[in-house]
Structure 1
């Protein structure tokens, strides 16, 4: 079977109505598949105000805004009109990118059609309850995820550390890797701009601690702020640069009154903002890969991150940055203080990160997933009676 023979039905709760690393990776994947001659149809909630233009044909599914997080939409079902579209499209593989109602319905439909179905894992949903005072719910959420992922032929994690966790959680017996790439021209030390920093009131000799991402509590904003408080108490010279937007911005601004908030950035503006920092601080434990970590490394920044899935596969402790036990405020502050006060160590770690980022190219990582698609489709065909195998 050739790539051009693939017909992929992709189901996702967010394809382009809110910008995040997961849906940008999905759009890149669809673009790569289309360029290789495959056919792809995307089934996802749509909006009149998308965050960015979508790649490929998107068929809308009914959805409602999530309570308390109205920027996200929860798909409700696969209506008859969409089922007819799926039938007419004649997919030979389902790819499910989110474990909500739409994902469950898609897996059930794939089983009815005797089609293989794979899932990609983009975030650690089982960790979310702890950020909303519902830690006791984590085992329940994990059990729900296990039921969903075990119904798939295979699942794909963006990092080896996340794949190993999925194996330990017994989510599926076939766990593969679909990594992430980085645009090394966009994220490069060459685009560092001291003039831009000065326009924000940041002096050239002030070490800048960057935060990049959506401003939501599950990104570890409380840990970030507490570690910065430690630096202030110790009298460590620094500035905080927050790159991103989200519902927790007001809370974060209140906790970090001296920080510079530049809002959402994209493309070359994002590359400039990242490169104009001096280090990245990423305390999140919900990441499955950590796109912002890889982008910072490509920009030549040391990374201080939690010992968590994603970061463990990217950051080499004491080489490209520091890995710290999740929630260890003093240890995070120690690592940040080290890079604030030791310019040579900062430069050495940043240079090592730039080199380490070279192995992450989008075409290569997407081709690995395509190869897995082909393997899974062939396996399903071989288990069918000869009379039912397509020519």
Structure 2
């Protein structure tokens, strides 16, 4: 009798151990269910964190949190340079809530773990002056989270406000089989492209945040169309050609251009008039020798190869030096001219494109925001210089064309 009781107790203990969540889940993790329940695999058996798998097996999709591995890797790199909330690993932000809770650290709302992870990585990348890190954080924020079933959308984060407005502007992709997914995901990608452009990245990279082809709701195989390979450093969605892009390159470029030129019709008309006047003044007042002198060529050597003589003249017009402490970037000025990046119209561009690696933009705010950000995180300028930059950016918004560039440059002491 005693022997039978002992055996029963032993069996109960073994059963309890089998369903216990391992404390070092983030180290031993190899696979996660699409429904958010993580598993730890060994050579002989699998230990699950919950006993309800069979009840949902016919509806859930295979996991996909490692499908975009290259972005996950980069975000982890920046997350862990300064991680006061103790987020265990960036991968938890892409899991369903049941598994994500194990790695959320001090983040109070599991639905917001993905946003919080991206926000922290973005902040750290900004400190490091890394456009690659900023871009990866934005793309990570837009990736689809695991959910409990094919066609089930993940919950939006509403409980926590992101520190960085660039991150706050982005939400995660939704399961492609969920309601209105095509329109929702396209809108996410277009907004992502705008934010990537604003931090000096390539807006076309936003297309890489896309997810898979829609799975079949109720698919008895539970396979769906996703993949999950932690050993694929690039990301299996790319190497297996499973990525479905949510928009075309033309749509991306149009969204970025529309964001850059968003202004009332009267302001747009004024911009065109001012641009024409500035061009006429430049052509009439430029000294003849300036067009051929080596000095002018040197001044604009960092500009695009397609920059015209008018652009050279405009760049040369920005002279002198500022009394502000600009750190390692002595020329944060902006030029306004024809021909940047092959454009047919005048646009804005940093005078020093070596220190400020950003292409041209029709909206000066895109350039001023980038320059002020770089003065802070890359150039290590003084607070007085950063404040002057922000004041100049505000002043430039009240002007158009060359006057906008002049307002910004003047605020910085040029």
Same fold, TM-score > 0.5, yes or no: no
Of the two structures, which has the highest relative contact order with CA contacts closer than 8 Å and spacing of 6 or more?
Answer: 1
TM range (shorter): under 0.3
TM-score (norm 2): 0.23
Q: TM-score, normalised by structure 1?
A: 0.24
Greater strand share, 1 or 2?
1
